[in-house]
A = this chain, B = another copy of it.
Amino acid sequence: MFFITGNKGKLEEVKDILGDVEQLEMDLPEVQGIDAREIVRAKLTEAQKHRKGDFIVEDTSLYLDCLNGLPGPLIKWFLKTVGNEGLFRIAERLGEKGAEARTIVGLAKDGEIFFFEGSLKGKITEPRGTGFGWDPVFQPKGSGKTFGELSKEEKNSISMRRKALEKLRDFLTA
Contact = CB atoms under 8 A, between A and B. Distances in A.
Interface of A: 29-34, 67-70, 74, 77-78, 80-82, 86, 89-90, 93-95
Copies per complex of this chain: 2
B86 A68 contact: yes
Contact of A34 (B34, B69, B77): B77
A51 B28 CA distance: 25
Contact of A32 (B30, B81, B90, B93): B30
Contacts of A94: 89-90, 93
B29 A77 contact: no
Most buried by B among A74, A80, A82, A89: A74
Nearest to A92: B93
A74 to B, nearest CB: 6
B32 A31 contact: yes
B82 A78 contact: no
A128 to B, nearest CB: 22
A99 to B, nearest CB: 14
A60 B82 CA distance: 21
A68 B90 contact: no
Contact of A70 (B32, B68, B77): B77
A28 to B, nearest CB: 12
A34 B68 contact: no
A13 B89 CA distance: 39
Given A32-B31, A32-B32, A69 B93 contact: no
B90 A69 contact: no
